[in-house]
């Protein structure tokens, strides 16, 4: 075989392997060269995946038929300022903080701030790991709305975290801007939800190049004073509640957990452009939601329309 032909075949093989590797790792969220960005640290609803009382899910994960998924959280990174922030203190927080340290920013402190949305188990109970039984941390900044702050301050074991200075509450006010670094700002805003113990907020995360919405938990869109379509038009990314795909998904009245179904959200965007739909990134999937699985046909159909589904490890430049 002549040397030119051999060289050509080697080049084809290298390109083929490169393309195969890219296709295996293909998501819509490939990292860009940026100093500020969001990284997805978990995508599941509060109970995670596999879920309690679902042995079949544990077996599927054990047999590598399904992936384990951590509870929904975002990391916000500013490499220029050498700072990292966590949105949601989930039961999986130790692993999520380790990912931030190992893969994003190594520093002499575990986190520069934790933002809470509300007092449901998947969104704040990770704070326990800052306590004396685990890390015994000192003055970790925890950003909380007034009712959330009061709940933590007046109920054990959370009040002990404050008393022992494991955490230091940083008060938030709806629609007021918090400046985190020279490049990143955050604005909390109220959303309707089951507010037994605290109010519920979403966040606008503002970078120098891009802006994101984060609304992991909300009741039906019609109950919010704002228009979700209009709000998505204002930002570059919108991480929004995708707890359930459609009605009838769980064996109890779904009015008890009135999240917007993915099908309802899609209906609101049906007349919008593919470009706008591509800003929607579904997140916070209940273990029952078939869209948690990449091969689900209805998920693939929505991806064809432009919608995105959050993937752990995905990066979005700010």
Q: Tens of pLDDT along 16-73?
A: 443 433 332 344 444 454 899 999 999 999 999 999 998 998 998 899 999 999 999 9
Domain count, the chain: 1
Higher pLDDT, 215 or 5: 215
Instruction: Kindly tell me if the per-residue pLDDT of 2 is higher than 60.
Output: no
Strand partners, 317: 37
Residue 162 to residues 53, 120, 130, 165, 169: CA-CA distances in angstroms? 33, 19, 10, 5, 8
Nearest to 278 by CA among 22, 29, 64: 29
**pLDDT per position as a tens digit, 210-269:** 999 999 999 999 999 999 999 999 999 999 999 999 887 887 787 777 899 999 999 999
Does the bond joining 157 to the residue before it have cis omega, within 30 degrees of 0?
yes
Residue 131 domain-assigned (yes or no): yes
Residue 25 domain-assigned (yes or no): no
Average pLDDT of the residues of the chain:
90
Residue 274 domain-assigned (yes or no): yes
Instruction: Kindly tell me if the per-residue pLDDT of 306 is higher than 80.
Output: yes
Low-confidence winner among 172-176, 193-197, 211-215 (lowest mean pLDDT): 193-197
DSSP H or E stretch at residue 309: strand 308-309
Instruction: Kindly tell me if the per-residue pLDDT of 87 is higher than 80.
Output: yes
**pLDDT per position as a tens digit, 110-152:** 999 999 999 999 999 999 999 999 999 999 999 999 999 999 9
Residue 82 domain-assigned (yes or no): yes
Q: What is the rounded CA–CA span in Å between residue 214 and residue 204?
A: 6
What is the CATH classification number for the domain harbouring 248? 3.60.15.10
Strand partners, 205: 186, 212
**pLDDT per position as a tens digit, 177-188:** 999 999 999 999
Per-residue confidence band for 9, with pLDDT thresholds at 50, 70 and 90: very low
Residue 218 domain-assigned (yes or no): yes
Residue 72 domain-assigned (yes or no): yes
Nearest to 313 by CA among 37, 17, 47: 37
Domain residues for the domain of 127 are 35-317
Residue 236 domain-assigned (yes or no): yes
DSSP H or E stretch at residue 76: strand 73-78
Residue 220 domain-assigned (yes or no): yes
Tokens of residue 21, six digits: 């590797």
Nearest to 97 by CA among 113, 117, 80, 78: 113
Q: What is the rounded CA–CA span in Å between residue 309 and residue 295?
A: 12
């Amino acid at each position: 075989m002549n040397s030119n032909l051999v060289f050509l075949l080697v080049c084809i093989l290298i390109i083929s392997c490169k393309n195969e590797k890219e296709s295996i790792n293909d998501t819509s969220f490939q990292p860009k060269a940026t100093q500020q960005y969001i990284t997805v640290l978990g995508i599941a609803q509060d109970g995670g995946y596999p879920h309690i009382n679902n042995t079949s899910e544990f077996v599927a994960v054990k047999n590598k038929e399904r992936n384990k998924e951590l509870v929904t959280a975002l990391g916000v990174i500013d490499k220029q300022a050498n700072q990292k922030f966590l949105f949601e203190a989930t039961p999986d927080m130790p692993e999520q903080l380790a990912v931030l340290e190992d893969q994003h920013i190594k520093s002499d402190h575990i986190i520069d701030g934790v933002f809470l949305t509300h007092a449901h188990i998947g969104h704040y109970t990770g704070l326990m790991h800052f306590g004396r039984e685990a890390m015994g941390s000192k003055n970790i900044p925890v950003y909380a709305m007034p009712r959330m702050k009061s709940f933590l301050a007046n109920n054990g074991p959370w009040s002990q975290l404050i008393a022992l200075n494991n955490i230091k509450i940083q008060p938030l006010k709806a629609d007021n801007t918090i400046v985190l670094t020279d490049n990143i700002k955050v604005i909390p805003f109220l959303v309707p939800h089951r507010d037994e113990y605290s109010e519920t907020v979403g966040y606008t995360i503002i970078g120098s190049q891009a802006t994101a919405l984060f609304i992991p938990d909300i009741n039906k869109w019609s109950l919010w004073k704002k228009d979700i379509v209009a709000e998505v038009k204002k930002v570059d990314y919108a991480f929004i509640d995708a707890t359930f795909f459609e009605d009838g998904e769980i064996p109890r009245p779904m009015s008890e957990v009135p999240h917007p179904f993915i099908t309802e959200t899609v209906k609101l965007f049906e007349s919008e452009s593919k470009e706008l739909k591509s800003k929607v990134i579904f997140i916070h999937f209940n273990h029952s939601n078939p869209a948690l699985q990449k091969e689900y046909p209805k998920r693939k159909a929505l991806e064809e329309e432009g919608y995105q589904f959050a993937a752990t490890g995905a990066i979005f430049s700010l």
